[in-house]
């Protein structure tokens, strides 16, 4: 790929910040613009190591701000018009969407449409540009004990969050079909790794074990998820950005299915071992009322990524989760700061 200006939306979040680190390392001559509204899950401390990088620019703002987004695509922010977009920005926590779905519709659906309109205007009939829309396997709904989601699986979202993501997916597809807009969609399984906001399962459990707080588990903890290490996801996204076919959907999975309760048990064992604790942290496990509309199982068939683009995960779950725990143990100040910020938001 020739030299590019890449607009990353939501780049101060978990996957976005990891992607920016990866991308600047993999493409040192490219320019990266990070547009983030810095809501509760956006944290500029995630990107502290590159805040003065000559090829990195941060822009604080909301993807629903039509004037700001238009200015970015017209080159008024001093970098030039982006010719690539990697669209992460989204409200993403299922529990919050159950409490109030409005921010999810605004950000995930309307925000995506604002970006599409600005990019369409700036990219007339130019298929060298690419708009990569990063979505989730949750748009497919729930699986039984067997089977896998593939790219042809009908969308059947069960939470307001996943419904809003399905809506944004369909908007992107419609722009490709109607306007021949150069878009690609990816749908990934559950990510884990550094910089993940501790309301998600793995960092929440890690943080609570470290502070000897209760470890909440929905229902009996039998819900199954496919886990993908965030570095593997970043490599997959870059691969799709460079080699993916316009108008296509690509499923990105980690080939690591785990029941939630087994994840919690594993984290207890590993952290107790690393901290040389004599009393098992499993005593902290607390079963709570199951989430409304809680999907039983997600599992992704990522064979299209492997067969067409040559991507497979580089990390096993065992190596990825050990590295993740080590990262949090060596970034206790980051965890403390995120907790304080979250309390201030409440």
pLDDT, averaged across the chain: 94
Q: Which domains does the chain have, with CATH numbers?
A: 5-195+226-256+294-314 (3.40.50.720)
The tokens describing 66, both together, are 């039509």
| Dist CA 56 CA 6 (whole Å) | 10
Which tens digits make up the pLDDT trace of 159-209? Answer: 999 999 999 999 999 999 999 999 999 999 999 999 999 889 999 999 999
Residue pair 64/106 in contact by the 8 Å Cβ criterion? yes
The number of residues in the chain equals 346
Q: What is the pLDDT of residue 343?
A: 67
Catalytic residue list: 137-138, 161
Q: What is the pLDDT of residue 95?
A: 86
User: Got the DSSP string for 281-338?
Assistant: GGGGEEEEPPPTT--SB--B--HHHHHHH----S--HHHHHHHHHHHHHT-HHHHHHH
Closest Cα partner for 251 from 324, 312, 310, 300?
300
Question: Which residues does the chain have with pLDDT short of 50?
Answer: 1
Q: What is the pLDDT of residue 345?
A: 61
Q: What is the pLDDT of residue 92?
A: 84
Residues 137-159 as b or e (16 or more Cβ within 10 Å = b): bbbbbbbeeeebbebebebebbb
Residue pair 165/153 in contact by the 8 Å Cβ criterion? no
Q: What is the pLDDT of residue 253?
A: 94
């Amino acid at each position: 790929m020739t030299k590019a200006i890449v607009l990353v939306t939501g780049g101060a979040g978990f996957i976005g910040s990891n992607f920016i680190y990866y991308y600047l390392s993999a493409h040192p001559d490219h320019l990266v613009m990070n547009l983030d509204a810095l809501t509760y899950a956006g944290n500029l401390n995630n990107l502290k190591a590159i805040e003065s990088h000559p090829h990195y620019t941060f822009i604080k703002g909301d993807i629903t701000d039509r004037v700001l987004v238009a200015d970015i695509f017209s080159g008024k922010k001093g970098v030039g018009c982006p010719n690539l977009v990697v669209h992460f920005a989204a409200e993403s926590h299922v529990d919050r969407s159950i409490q109030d779905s409005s921010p999810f519709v605004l950000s995930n659906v309307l925000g995506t449409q604002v970006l599409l309109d600005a990019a369409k205007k700036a990219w007339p009939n130019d298929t060298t540009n690419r708009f990569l829309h990063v979505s989730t396997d949750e748009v497919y709904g729930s699986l039984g004990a067997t089977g896998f989601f593939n790219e042809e699986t009908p969308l059947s979202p069960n939470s307001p969050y996943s419904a809003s993501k399905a809506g944004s997916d369909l908007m992107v597809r419609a722009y490709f079909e109607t306007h021949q807009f150069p878009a690609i969609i990816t749908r990934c399984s559950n990510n884990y790794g550094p910089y993940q906001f501790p309301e998600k399962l793995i960092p929440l459990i890690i943080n609570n074990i470290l502070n000897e707080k209760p470890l909440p588990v929905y229902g009996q903890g039998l819900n199954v998820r496919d886990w993908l290490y965030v570095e593997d996801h970043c490599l997959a996204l870059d691969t799709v950005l460079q080699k993916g076919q316009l108008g296509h959907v690509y499923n990105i999975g980690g080939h690591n299915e785990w029941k939630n309760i087994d994840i919690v048990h594993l984290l207890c064992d590993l952290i107790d071992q690393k901290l040389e604790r004599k009393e098992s942290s499993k005593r902290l496990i607390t079963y709570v009322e199951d989430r409304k509309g809680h999907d039983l199982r997600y599992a992704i068939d990522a064979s299209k990524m492997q067969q067409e683009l040559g991507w497979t995960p580089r990390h096993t779950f065992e190596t990825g989760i050990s590295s993740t725990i080590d990262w949090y143990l060596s970034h206790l100040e980051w965890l403390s700061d995120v907790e304080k910020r979250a309390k201030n938001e409440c």
